[in-house]
Structure 1
Amino acid sequence: MKKSIVSAMLALTLLTPTFSQPLNVRFAIIADSKSMTAAGNEIKEYASVLKAEGLDAVIIEDRWKHADSIRSVLRKMYDSGHGLEGTVFIGEIPVPMLRDAQHLTSAFKMDQDRYPWNRSSVPSDRFYEDFDLEFTFLKPDTNGLYFYYTLNPSSPQVLTPDIYSGRIRIPDDSDGSKLQAYLWKVIEAHKNPDIVDELLFFAGHGYNSNSMTARIDEKVALLQQFPQLSRQDKGLEYIDYTFDEHIKNSILSLMTDEMVDIALLHHHGAYDAQYVGSEKAANGVQQNIESIKFYLRSKVRGANDTVEAKNRYMEWLGVPDSWFRGANEKGQTEIDSAWFADMDIIAQDVAEYDIKTRFIMFDACFNGSFHRDEFISGAYVFGEGRTVAAQANTVNSLQDKYPNEMVGLLSYGMRVGEWNRMVCFLESHIIGDPTFRFASSDPKLDADRMMKRAGNNGMLVKLTSYPHPDVQSWALWHLHSNGYPDISNLLTDKYFSSPYMNTRMTALKLLTQLKDDNFVRVTAAALNDSYELVRRFAAIYCQESGDPRLAPALIRLVTHPNVSKRVNYQAVDALACFDSTLLMRELDKRFEGTDTANYLGLIYNQTAANISKRAGYPRESIETITGADVTEKNKLFDIRSLRNLTYHTLIEPLCEYVLTAPGEKLEVALIEALGWFNYSYNRQHIIDTCNTIMADTERFPEPVRLEALRTLKRLE
Structure 2
Amino acid sequence: MRKFTFLALLGLCLWKPVPTAAQQLIKPERSDYQTSFAIVVDKDTYKAAKKELEAYKRVLEKRGLGAYLIYHNWDNPEQIKNSLQQLYGKDRLEGAVFVGNIPIPMIRDAQHLSSAFKMDQRINWQRSSVPSDRFYDDFDLQFDFIKQDSLNKQLYYYSLSAESPQFLQLDIYTARIKPTEGPQFIPRIKQYLQKVVQQADQKERLNTMMVYTGHGYHAESLNAWAAEQVALREQFPSMFTLQGNIAFLNFRMMKAMRDSYLSQIQRPDLDIAIYHGHGSDDTQLLNGYAYATAPHPSIENIKRYLRNKIQNVAESKGDVEAAKNRYHTWLDVPLSWMDNALVDSVIRADSLENAGADLHISDLETATPNAKFVMLDACDNGAFHHADYMAAHYAFSPGNTLVTLANSVGVLQDIWPNRLLGILQQGVRMGNWFKQVAYLETHLFGDPTFAFDTDNTTAAAQYNTALQNPHQQEELWKSLLSSADVDLQNMALQQLFLIQGDKQSAQLRDTYFSSPNMTVRLQCLQLLSSLDNADYVAVLKQAVHDPYELTQRLAVQMMGEKGNVDLIPALLEATFNYKHMERVASRIQNVLPFMPNKATEQALEQEIQKVGHLSNIVSWEEQLLKSQLKNEAKLLKDYGQINDSSRDKKERFFSIRTLRAYRYHEAIPYIITLILNENEDRDLRIHAIEALSWFPKSYAKQAIIEACQSLTGSNDLAIKKQAIKTLAILNCKGY
TM-score band by shorter chain is over 0.9
Number of equivalent positions: 710
Distance in 1, matches of 2:722 and 2:415, equals 27
Which one of the candidate residues 431, 435, 446 is aligned to 1:421? 435
Q: 1:214: Cα distance to partner?
A: 0.4
Q: 1:319: Cα distance to partner?
A: 3.5
Q: 1:231: Cα distance to partner?
A: 1.0
Name the residue aligned to 2:265.
255
Which one of the candidate residues 527, 545, 548 is aligned to 1:528? 545
Q: Residues 412-491 of structure 1: matches in 2 within 5 Å?
A: 412-440=426-454, 445-446=459-460, 448-449=462-463, 451-452=465-466, 454=470, 455-483=472-500, 486-491=503-508
Name the residue aligned to 2:23.
12
Asked if the contact 2:382–2:406 (Cα under 8 Å) also holds between the matched residues in 1, the reply is yes
Name the residue aligned to 2:245.
235
Q: Does 1:673 align with 2:682?
A: no
Of 240-249 and 204-213, deviating more is: 240-249
Q: Deviations over 1:339-369 (max 9, x none)?
A: 1111111122113322211101100000001
Name the residue aligned to 1:177.
187
Name the residue aligned to 2:405.
391
Asked if the contact 1:49–1:191 (Cα under 8 Å) also holds between the matched residues in 2, the reply is no
Change (3 A) 1:692 1:276: same
Asked if the contact 1:248–1:345 (Cα under 8 Å) also holds between the matched residues in 2, the reply is yes
Distance in 1, matches of 2:603 and 2:279, equals 41
* Secondary structure, aligned partner of 1:57: strand
Asked if the contact 2:138–2:169 (Cα under 8 Å) also holds between the matched residues in 1, the reply is yes
Structure 1 unmatched ranges of 5 or more: none
Which one of the candidate residues 184, 188, 191 is aligned to 2:201? 191
Name the residue aligned to 1:272.
282
* Secondary structure, aligned partner of 1:269: strand
Distance in 1, matches of 2:71 and 2:464, equals 32
Name the residue aligned to 1:325.
339
Name the residue aligned to 2:96.
87
Asked if the contact 1:412–1:447 (Cα under 8 Å) also holds between the matched residues in 2, the reply is no
Change (3 A) 1:21 1:98: farther
Q: Deviations over 1:78-97 (max 9, x none)?
A: 122x3211000000000001
Name the residue aligned to 1:126.
134
Taking only the aligned residue pairs, the percentage that are identical comes to 34
Opposite residue 351 of structure 1, the aligned amino acid is: E
Q: 1:111: Cα distance to partner?
A: 1.4
* Secondary structure, aligned partner of 1:429: strand
Asked if the contact 1:196–1:441 (Cα under 8 Å) also holds between the matched residues in 2, the reply is no
Distance in 2, matches of 1:682 and 1:232, equals 54
Opposite residue 407 of structure 2, the aligned amino acid is: N
Q: Deviations over 1:482-504 (max 9, x none)?
A: 23563101111111111111111
Structure 2 unmatched ranges of 5 or more: 1-9
Asked if the contact 1:572–1:610 (Cα under 8 Å) also holds between the matched residues in 2, the reply is no
Change (3 A) 1:617 1:408: farther
Which one of the candidate residues 656, 660, 664 is aligned to 1:639? 656
Q: Residues 23-62 of structure 1: matches in 2 within 5 Å?
A: 26-62=36-72
Distance in 1, matches of 2:443 and 2:586, equals 29
Change (3 A) 1:512 1:310: same
Q: Deviations over 1:353-391 (max 9, x none)?
A: 222111011000000011111011111110111111111
Name the residue aligned to 2:681.
663
Distance in 2, matches of 1:211 and 1:447, equals 40
Opposite residue 161 of structure 2, the aligned amino acid is: N
Change (3 A) 1:593 1:237: closer
Q: Residues 232-381 of structure 1: matches in 2 within 5 Å?
A: 232=242, 235-301=245-311, 302-303=313-314, 304-381=318-395
Q: 1:619: Cα distance to partner?
A: 2.1
Distance in 2, matches of 1:603 and 1:181, equals 61
Q: How big is the alpha-carbon RMSD for the aligned residues of Structure 1 and Structure 2?
A: 2.2
Q: 1:703: Cα distance to partner?
A: 0.3
Q: Residues 72-151 of structure 1: matches in 2 within 5 Å?
A: 72-80=82-90, 82-113=91-122, 115-142=123-150, 143-151=152-160
Distance in 1, matches of 2:14 and 2:511, equals 49
Q: Deviations over 1:402-452 (max 9, x none)?
A: 111111111111111111111111000001111111112668943634643
Q: 1:192: Cα distance to partner?
A: 1.0
Of 209-218 and 40-49, deviating more is: 40-49
Asked if the contact 1:5–1:73 (Cα under 8 Å) also holds between the matched residues in 2, the reply is no
Distance in 2, matches of 1:572 and 1:323, equals 35
Of 671-680 and 581-590, deviating more is: 581-590
User: TM (normalized to structure 2)?
Assistant: 0.93
Q: 1:606: Cα distance to partner?
A: 3.1
Of 276-285 and 451-460, deviating more is: 451-460
Opposite residue 101 of structure 1, the aligned amino acid is: A
Distance in 1, matches of 2:457 and 2:74, equals 46
Q: Deviations over 1:499-541 (max 9, x none)?
A: 1111111110111111111111111110110100000010000
Opposite residue 290 of structure 1, the aligned amino acid is: E
Opposite residue 207 of structure 1, the aligned amino acid is: Y
Asked if the contact 2:30–2:61 (Cα under 8 Å) also holds between the matched residues in 1, the reply is no
* Secondary structure, aligned partner of 1:56: strand
Name the residue aligned to 2:730.
715
Asked if the contact 1:655–1:686 (Cα under 8 Å) also holds between the matched residues in 2, the reply is yes
* Secondary structure, aligned partner of 1:486: helix
Asked if the contact 1:8–1:64 (Cα under 8 Å) also holds between the matched residues in 2, the reply is no
Distance in 1, matches of 2:615 and 2:101, equals 66
Q: 1:283: Cα distance to partner?
A: 4.4
Of 456-465 and 239-248, deviating more is: 456-465
Q: 1:7: Cα distance to partner?
A: 3.7
User: TM (normalized to structure 1)?
Assistant: 0.95
* Secondary structure, aligned partner of 1:85: strand
Q: Does 1:683 align with 2:701?
A: yes
Distance in 2, matches of 1:232 and 1:435, equals 29
Q: 1:331: Cα distance to partner?
A: 2.0
Which one of the candidate residues 701, 707, 712 is aligned to 1:694? 712
Asked if the contact 1:558–1:607 (Cα under 8 Å) also holds between the matched residues in 2, the reply is no
Q: Residues 538-687 of structure 1: matches in 2 within 5 Å?
A: 538-560=555-577, 562-592=579-609, 595=612, 598-661=615-678, 662-687=680-705
Of 281-290 and 32-41, deviating more is: 281-290
Q: Deviations over 1:611-652 (max 9, x none)?
A: 333333332221342223211111111100100111122222
* Secondary structure, aligned partner of 2:200: helix
Distance in 2, matches of 1:408 and 1:447, equals 16
Asked if the contact 2:14–2:89 (Cα under 8 Å) also holds between the matched residues in 1, the reply is no
Change (3 A) 1:326 1:280: same
Q: 1:545: Cα distance to partner?
A: 1.0
Change (3 A) 1:702 1:402: same
Of 520-529 and 592-601, deviating more is: 592-601
Name the residue aligned to 2:217.
207
Distance in 2, matches of 1:584 and 1:322, equals 48
Distance in 2, matches of 1:3 and 1:561, equals 56
Change (3 A) 1:52 1:20: closer
Q: Does 1:705 align with 2:720?
A: yes
Opposite residue 28 of structure 1, the aligned amino acid is: A
Distance in 1, matches of 2:366 and 2:136, equals 35
Change (3 A) 1:442 1:547: farther
Q: 1:181: Cα distance to partner?
A: 1.2
* Secondary structure, aligned partner of 2:712: helix
Which one of the candidate residues 166, 171, 187 is aligned to 1:162? 171
Distance in 1, matches of 2:327 and 2:609, equals 49
Distance in 1, matches of 2:234 and 2:439, equals 25
Asked if the contact 2:509–2:535 (Cα under 8 Å) also holds between the matched residues in 1, the reply is yes
